[in-house]
A and B are shown apart, each in its own frame.
Chain A
């Protein structure tokens, strides 16, 4: 009888040691960092612009250095702006990651800026913003005995495509108005665009000039407009069509100021 008890005791011990080993090998990779999910940080996010669409790329890495395979890995994300308006959301079903392997990939999505602009949502074209990335990762581990969920949030600054259009100075001398202007566009843009500089007295066009500005940088320029002989208030207007986005800036100057 004592022998039977000892056998039972031994069997129970073996079972319990096995269970403890299973529990330990299941849990240990998480605090030890053997199982690691590296989601994109703000400076890893890359932007590109083409044909009215902004493409956002954000790399991520999932390192399964644990003892068991990762199953049913799903990565879902949503992007909202500063006002909490939804920009984009999607779900990626990555699937299984075998033990000891690393999965590196890119979260990539498009922001249809042109489409948004045409529908009246022009804020991202002319205003800086914060794009809030909320990424959620879920997967199973240890033969689906453990469920892992993680939520990650990062705010990435968005620079407006047309950041600034300004008149630095307006000088009047001998019937001529000299306008110093400045146009700053996002680094996502490249090439050149045509800037129209016009002077109005009331609603009457006094004179207009065109200048070519470089995109993706700050363009400074000076134009001289003529025909402003009569006293009154003059309005200087800067107008440009940059990648299909119409930008306009206007300022009024009384004749006394335009001395």
Chain B
């Protein structure tokens, strides 16, 4: 079974062959056979192929190093794809090739830019694969993490000693006997409350306690019945 390291080494090797070595050989063949060929980037095409191809190799290698479902792998996968698109655009000179003094022709111009854009769209489709791989890997990762957490919790539960029941205060014990039920607060008149009958006027020389309604002499400061204080104005 291949490890991620061996995967990365193999990716680096194959990508270097695909994006650096083979293109350089082909470019050398084409430019030596058709020296009249000019494209937008033909002057430094070797340098561009090496630098962009090198970056593709590095990105692809870093993509392979990381586990599927990690953001790093997604990032390097997308970066590699974007670099491949740039690489193709540069290799084909944006799709416009010119040949000067070729045979009887002064110049030949071939504008294949639309074909190049279609190729770029086709290559970009690989992005779907990168995202799909990320999504599947991510789900798998999360599932594994859940399983690990569940197993850990189970193991901890198994390892833990039975503990004594926690102490509870008297009030807690008292209220714990009550069950929680819904109740409705109703208006007083709906449960039979009614105004008291009108109070009779106190006898002469007497006053009535506002609290308990008992009559008391006007000189008293305190109600003899309930102990409530009389207002100052009522004391004569």
Contacts and interface: CB of A to CB of B under 8 A. Distances in A.
A142 interface: yes
B129 A9 contact: yes
Nearest to B107: A151
Given A5-B136, A16-B122, A145 B112 contact: yes
Interface residues of A, number: 29
Given A4-B132, A5-B129, A22 B118 contact: yes
Contacts of A250: none
B109 interface: yes
Interface in B147-206: none
Interface string A219-235: 00000000000000000
A142 B126 CA distance: 25
Nearest to B117: A145
B128 A12 contact: yes
A150 B105 contact: yes
B109 A5 contact: no
A150 B111 contact: no
A39 B102 CA distance: 13
B114 A2 contact: no
B52 to A, nearest CB: 20
A20 B129 contact: no
Contacts of A152: 104-106
A19 B112 CA distance: 13
A145 B123 CA distance: 18
A15 B114 CA distance: 16
B115 interface: yes
Contacts of A39: 104
B226 interface: no
B26 interface: no
27 contacts: A5-B129, A8-B128, A12-B122, A15-B122, A16-B122, A23-B115, A23-B118, A26-B112, A26-B115, A27-B112, A27-B115, A142-B115, A145-B114, A146-B110, A146-B114, A147-B110, A148-B108, A148-B110, A149-B107, A149-B109, A149-B110, A149-B111, A150-B105, A150-B109, A151-B106, A151-B108, A153-B106
Given A19-B122, A41-B104, 18 more contacts: A4-B132, A4-B136, A16-B122, A23-B115, A26-B115, A30-B110, A39-B104, A142-B115, A145-B114, A146-B110, A147-B110, A148-B108, A148-B109, A149-B110, A151-B105, A151-B107, A152-B104, A153-B106
